[in-house]
Amino acid sequence: MKQSELFTKTLREAPADEQSYNARALIQGGFINKEMAGVYDFLPLGLRVLNKIIAIIREEINGIGGQETFLASLQNPELWKKTNRWDDAVYDVWFKTKLKNDTELGLATTHEEPLTNLLRRHISSYKDLPKSIYHFQTKFRNETRAKSGLMRLREFIMKDAYSFHADEEDLNDYYEKMKAAYTNIFKRAGLGHLTYLTFASGGTFSKYSHEFQALTSAGEDIIYICEKCRVALNREIIEDVQHKCTECGNDKLKEEKAVEVGNIFKLKTKYSRPLGLVFMDEEGVSKDVVMGCYGIGPQRLMGTVVETLHDEKGIIWPEAIAPFRAHLLSLNKNDEAKKIYDDLSAAGVEVLFDDRELTAGEKFADADLIGIPYRIVVSEKSIKAGGVEVKKRNEKEAKIVETKDIVAVLKQ
């Protein structure tokens, strides 16, 4: 894409009223636009990142048999009354609205109820199980305090997956597969080194649930890390386990601030029972379907990447989720640069081509801020040196690459 045609502009300075780094950098770079606290628009650069994160998640969930759907945002209160989650006193994050005839509706906060209900028409036998169903869908939550840019939103996309099983043993097997898929997702998105499988409170139905917590000072949670096992314990259960690692008994745990980037949970029959999702087993006995649920917020994941991977000049995107692979800067050499742009594009390399009539300093500053992994400079100087200059965003030194070799260097 030509940067001269990109409708967004970077800001010379970050917005003064934002303190969180992800909000400052993403707004300054033109990735997102703030409509109001906790409500953001995704602009071309930001959407490219978001879509790449979503694509990684989709691949991993498909890889363990997930079937993608897209459920509605407007929800029927009747289902929520059956599970006692319609009452604002019980579940206080609803945005509620009404039909013209005054019938109440809810805006989706999550989808256990509608999906469980929907499956009553499709699951009736043990032969129909197991199933894993997911979607990327907009959730609305009336948070009393939206905060920290993309870290806690009032409107956000969630990848929520739900699995359906004949018994707990099968749920447990699938739960382990999901755990592995989640580990891959955070690794591929560039947060593997910072993300810990974390034991958290499981509520009434199981002892612990698992969160995936990424270390960052922008986080809302305190976790205790066991370096030996590479797992962590959420503060909410640390007293229960007497400050010891649940895996190895290690009592030298390290306290860290972290953000929950994913959560996996065994629901068992919590929703299938009140909503009547049952199946007939081999003996002809009707049983409740056993469920699990698994969530990731792609926008929070994006915010976490920005919080953790940047320097004083701007964002440093991991290659897998960068908006473009290469940022081609022309310093008054648009004709020469255009050829390189065409070659790279033809080879399938995603390039942002800075063909704007700006000074070198502005182009470098924007490139650092936007944080695309490879910067290619075409200038009088680079041409004299034999071609183009290539520098990785996370490295200091640039190297000269002959123009004829640039496609080979940038191709993955």
Q: Which residues are at the interface with RNA (CB under 7 A)?
A: 10-20, 23, 34, 36-38, 92-93, 110, 143-149, 152, 202-205, 209, 220-221, 263, 265, 267, 270, 293, 295, 313, 331-332, 357-362, 364-369, 377, 379-382, 389, 398
Smaller CB distance to RNA: residue 52 or 378? 378
CB of 221 to RNA, least distance (A): 6
State the Cα–Cα distance between residues 392 and 371, nearest whole angstrom.
Answer: 10
CB of 165 to RNA, least distance (A): 15
Q: Which is nearest to 62 in space by CA: 171, 127, 159?
A: 159
3-state helix, strand, coil in the chain (%, to 5): 30, 30, 40
Sheet with strand 351-354: strands edge to edge: 351-354, 326-330, 374-378, 387-392, 399-402
Residue type at position 18: E
Cis status of the peptide bond prior to 77, with omega within 30 of 0: no
Residue type at position 377: V
CB of 131 to RNA, least distance (A): 19
Smaller CB distance to RNA: residue 285 or 360? 360
Smaller CB distance to RNA: residue 12 or 127? 12
CB of 397 to RNA, least distance (A): 10
Residue type at position 234: N
CB of 366 to RNA, least distance (A): 5
State the Cα–Cα distance between residues 305 and 297, nearest whole angstrom.
Answer: 12
Smaller CB distance to RNA: residue 50 or 153? 153
Look up residue 412 and give its two tokens. Answer: 């993955």
CB of 28 to RNA, least distance (A): 7
State the Cα–Cα distance between residues 293 and 289, nearest whole angstrom.
Answer: 13
In terms of C-beta density within 10 A (0-12 exposed, 13-18 middle, 19 or more buried), how is residue 88 classed? Answer: exposed
Smaller CB distance to RNA: residue 63 or 205? 205
- Cβ 6 vs Cβ 358: under 8 Å: no
Smaller CB distance to RNA: residue 11 or 180? 11
